[in-house]
Amino acid sequence: MKIVICGMSGFVGSALEKYFRGKGDEVHALSIRDCTDADIIASGVEGSDVLINLAGANILGRWTHEYKQLLRQSRWETTEKIVSGIKRCARPPRVFLNASAVGIYDSFHQHDEHSRHTADDFLADLVRGWESAAMKAQSEQTRVCLMRFGVVYGNGGGAMAKMLPPFRLGLGGKMGDGYQMISWIHLADLVRACEFLIEHPQIEGVVNFTALEPISNLAQTKAMSRILQRPAFFDLPAWLVKLIFGEGSCVMLDSKEVYPRRLQEAGFTFLYPTFDSAMEEIARARD
């Protein structure tokens, strides 16, 4: 199987490369630089079986006007160019997996893929535009799946790279009141879920990439404290998070309770369905 990945150098992309190469698949990178030219994209994905788009600037940051523009450009414009490249192919990829995010959902309801309760803020608008651009690749030749990622946990990068150091020093703590729900997924399950979508042609459109059990920030803090055997009393009040990140603080303070209904119904099994199981694996791997 020939797989092309845009954003292969990142945390998720490098894990996908390692996994699929280990299974004997042919894996190629499509650089972000290449994604500015539809003809280059077309030549890179021509005849491929799968195209995975992970392009997008880090959502965690202070959302200045300029940074918002970068977030839009790195998602909307890059995806639009990729879709243009796909449409120029005589033999386009049969599967197009496009990254997305649970940030599209509101903070007041439980959500699966059928939820109509979307948020009315910058992050939700960002995701809507991103998904709209990706779905234009859907055709008789190409099946499109929108992977709505929760927070991705694993070793070697992602959220844990920022969370673990203070917790290991005994400087961890909850954010805000700690009651906000976090929908997350272990990196190993994310990679396996990508393979699952490739192998199940009946699945298309939105798919939530989240573990079976969301967890509150407070419960997560207590679990990390217990598993790492470190105190966690250095709480970050909401006002301080907002002072540091401004509007972007919603990524850490807003509640997102999301469930992977479509993966479950299709028969996908999670290696790490609970945060405790994921955190124990992460802690062991780093010891």
Of the given ranges (34-43, 168-177, 191-200), which has the lowest mean pLDDT? 34-43
Q: What is each CA distance from 177 to 50, 108, 174, 215, 217, in whole angstroms?
A: 42, 16, 7, 14, 8
Q: What is each CA distance from 212 to 64, 66, 246, in whole angstroms?
A: 34, 36, 31
What's CA 38's distance to the chain center, in Å? 24
Q: What is the pLDDT of residue 287?
A: 57
Q: What is the pLDDT of residue 181?
A: 99
Write the DSSP symbol of residue 141.
S
pLDDT confidence bin for 33, thresholds 50/70/90: confident
Range 151-179 average pLDDT: 95
Range 124-143 average pLDDT: 98
Report which of 101, 104, 106 is spatially closest to residue 254, judged by C-alpha positions.
Answer: 106
234-257 pLDDT, tens digit each: 999 999 999 999 999 999 999 999
- How high does pLDDT run on average in the chain? 96
Phi, psi of 146 (to 5 degrees): -105, 110
Range 266-277 average pLDDT: 98
Q: What is the pLDDT of residue 41?
A: 94
- Residue 211 and residue 278: Cα distance in Å, rounded? 10
Phi, psi of 207 (to 5 degrees): -135, 125
pLDDT at 264 over 80: yes
pLDDT at 285 over 90: no
Q: Compute the chain's Rg from CA coordinates.
A: 19
pTM for the full predicted model = 0.96
Burial class from Cβ neighbours inside 10 Å (0-12, 13-18, 19+) for residue 275 reads buried
pLDDT at 286 over 80: no
Write the DSSP symbol of residue 247.
G
Phi, psi of 135 (to 5 degrees): -65, -15
pLDDT confidence bin for 36, thresholds 50/70/90: confident
The CATH superfamily assigned to 2-153+185-211+258-265 is: NAD(P)-binding Rossmann-like Domain (3.40.50.720)
186-242 pLDDT, tens digit each: 999 999 999 999 999 999 999 999 999 999 999 999 999 999 999 999 999 999 999
Phi, psi of 257 (to 5 degrees): -110, 100
- Residue 139 and residue 224: Cα distance in Å, rounded? 45
Q: Where are the domains of the chain?
A: 2-153+185-211+258-265
Report which of 59, 53, 60, 74 is spatially closest to residue 7, judged by C-alpha positions.
Answer: 53
Burial class from Cβ neighbours inside 10 Å (0-12, 13-18, 19+) for residue 229 reads exposed
DSSP 85-133: HHHT-SS--SEEEEEEEGGGB-SSSEE-TT---B--SHHHHHHHHHHHH
pLDDT at 155 over 80: yes
pLDDT at 34 over 80: no
Q: What is the pLDDT of residue 35?
A: 79
61-100 pLDDT, tens digit each: 899 999 999 999 999 999 999 999 999 999 999 999 999 9
Q: What is the pLDDT of residue 156?
A: 86
Q: Is the separation of the CB atoms in 149 and 99 below 8 Å? A: yes
pLDDT confidence bin for 32, thresholds 50/70/90: confident
Q: Is the separation of the CB atoms in 278 and 186 below 8 Å? A: yes
